[in-house]
Amino acid sequence: MTTINRFAPSPTGRLHVGNIRTALHNWLLARKAGGRFLLRIDDTDAERSREEYVEAIREDLAWLGMVPDGEERQSARLAIYEEAFDKLKAAGRVYPCYETAQELDLKRKIQLGRGLPPIYDRAALALSDGHRAAKEAEGFAPHWRFKLDHDEPIRWEDAIRGSQKFDAAQLSDPVIRRADGSWLYMLPSAVDDIAMGVTDVLRGEDHVSNTAVQIQMFTALGAAPPSFAHEALLVGREGKLSKRLGALGCDAFRAQGVEPEALVALLARLGTSQPVEPVADRDVLVGGFDLSTFGRAPARFDDEELHRLNTAIVHSLAYADVAARLPDGMDEAAWLAIRPNIEKVSDVADWWSIVTGPVAARGLEAEDKAYCAMAAEVMAETGDDWKALTTALKERTGRKGKALFLPLRLALTGMDHGPDMASLLPLIGTEQALKRLKGAAA
């Protein structure tokens, strides 16, 4: 059977790093199995859903190299949910409730005060037809709950958490439909998984109790549940859940100069027993993806680790990978010369401005200025061959080490560090280099 999984974000905001990790793991799981990775836009909340966020989700997935194999919109599937609801209603598996939010909150507080779990007491099931008619005559539209079967424990083998068991009597019958007729998450998600042929659901551990409920929904609708896996949630470097993680999305990473390959390399193995390495080859990440390597401990997201990976990835990027992002006139030789000295691709502009000039020499003593004048004379013979230039200057002056090289670097680049001068000097060119040496000597 073909593996089919899905990433199902709500378009009520930008994707954050936790969403991105879930999407990536689903994509990797599908690719390793030769299956299909689907995008489902959970936009049943008409008030909060925004089309701009739908577009942003698509753009972010494309930037990360995770283009879905298909897409569905829940807002276009309302008739399917209505049909499933009618089926459950006819089977006695959904029932109307009339409590207000305030009444439900009071019930929960009383239960907690008595040391009891805040489980819905199913009071609505005891209402007679006359009571229901009276409520509706008073203007109370019902919300609807799914009636859990308390006869058997709910079990499944979780691909990450192992054997799971829930007592349905210790769970509240979930509200599946609001009084205004709109849908909550539980039922549409299960209905879509059936209709879309989803075989594997991989999501955060905060959905474990939802899975227990939805397994009964699958059964009530006459379908076999998919396989489930629940991964540990992301936490910040400080070791606890952080609101800041919710603000870290692809737009923020792009603004920081993070390469998509670096973010993918980090999130692909974060929370697993596999080493996090600057792996830019997606096939390597796909081949090594294995749910059995996932741990139960929270996965720690560390900005510094991401930026270390990003630097390593940048240092491996070929000219063809970055040509469109480089300054005008910068060729492959220039990229290869400057690449080892940058942390993000945008840094290259500063170094390229040193190549193209102008630059001002700093910190040269009188004897170093005289040395630069001599260097200009020698360069007239050696041209932009750095080794020939420094060898000749060493023979004439007896200088070596820092005294030999640093004044030349300062004169030619205005910096006391930077790319290898043997690669940089030909980029500057003999004519421009001579002007800089003479200018430093003046």
Q: How confident is the model at residue 245 (pLDDT cuts 50, 70, 90)?
A: confident
pLDDT (tens digit per residue) in 7-52: 999 999 999 999 999 999 999 999 999 999 999 999 999 889 999 9
> Average pLDDT, stretch 357-381?
93
Q: How confident is the model at residue 243 (pLDDT cuts 50, 70, 90)?
A: low
The Cα diameter of the chain in Å comes to 110
pLDDT of 326 strictly over 80: yes
**Cβ neighbours of 314 (radius 10 Å):** 25
Six token digits for residue 302: 């560390």
pLDDT (tens digit per residue) in 121-147: 999 999 999 999 999 999 899 999 999
Q: What is the mean pLDDT of the chain?
A: 95
pLDDT of 225 strictly over 70: yes
First to last CA, the chain: 78
Distances (CA, A) of 344 to 231, 262, 304, 313: 31, 11, 14, 9
pLDDT (tens digit per residue) in 246-277: 778 999 999 999 999 999 999 999 999 999 99
User: Cis before residue 358, ω within 30 degrees of 0?
Assistant: yes
CATH 1.10.10.350 domain residues, the chain = 357-441
> Average pLDDT, stretch 278-301?
96
pLDDT of 411 strictly over 90: yes
Do 259 and 310 form a contact (C-beta atoms < 8 A)?
yes
Distance CA 366, CA 121 (A): 90
pLDDT of 432 strictly over 70: yes
pLDDT of 342 strictly over 70: yes
* pLDDT score recorded for residue 420: 95
In one-letter notation, the amino acid at residue 139 is G
Least confident of 136-145, 300-309, 361-370: 361-370
The runs of H, that is alpha helices, within 119-278 are 129-137, 186-195, 208-220, 250-255, 260-269
Distances (CA, A) of 320 to 130, 253, 313, 428: 75, 22, 14, 22
* pLDDT score recorded for residue 363: 79
Q: Which residue has the tokens 């979780």?
A: 158
pLDDT of 362 strictly over 90: no
- Where residue 392 falls (left for φ over 0; alpha for ψ -120 to 50; beta otherwise) is alpha
> Average pLDDT, stretch 62-86?
97
pLDDT of 86 strictly over 80: yes
**Cβ neighbours of 331 (radius 10 Å):** 11
Backbone angles phi, psi at 221, to 5 degrees: -90, 5
Give the global pTM: 0.91
Do 327 and 352 form a contact (C-beta atoms < 8 A)?
yes
Percentage of the chain modeled with pLDDT above 70: 99
pLDDT of 242 strictly over 70: no
Distance CA 190, CA 413 (A): 63
Q: Which residue has the tokens 């739908």?
A: 54
* pLDDT score recorded for residue 241: 59
Q: How far is CA 225 from the centre of its chain?
A: 28
CA atoms within 13 A on the CB side of 378: 21
CATH 3.90.800.10 domain residues, the chain = 80-177
In words, the CATH class of domain 357-441 is: mainly alpha
Percentage of the chain modeled with pLDDT above 90: 94
Helix, strand, coil percentages for the chain (3-state, nearest 5)? 55, 10, 35
Q: How confident is the model at residue 1 (pLDDT cuts 50, 70, 90)?
A: confident
Backbone angles phi, psi at 369, to 5 degrees: -65, -40
* pLDDT score recorded for residue 237: 78
Do 417 and 324 form a contact (C-beta atoms < 8 A)?
no
Q: How far is CA 186 from the centre of its chain?
A: 24
CATH 3.40.50.620 domain residues, the chain = 1-72+232-316
Which superfamily is assigned to 1-72+232-316 in CATH? HUPs (3.40.50.620)
Q: How confident is the model at residue 112 (pLDDT cuts 50, 70, 90)?
A: very high
Which superfamily is assigned to 80-177 in CATH? Glutamyl-tRNA Synthetase; Domain 3 (3.90.800.10)
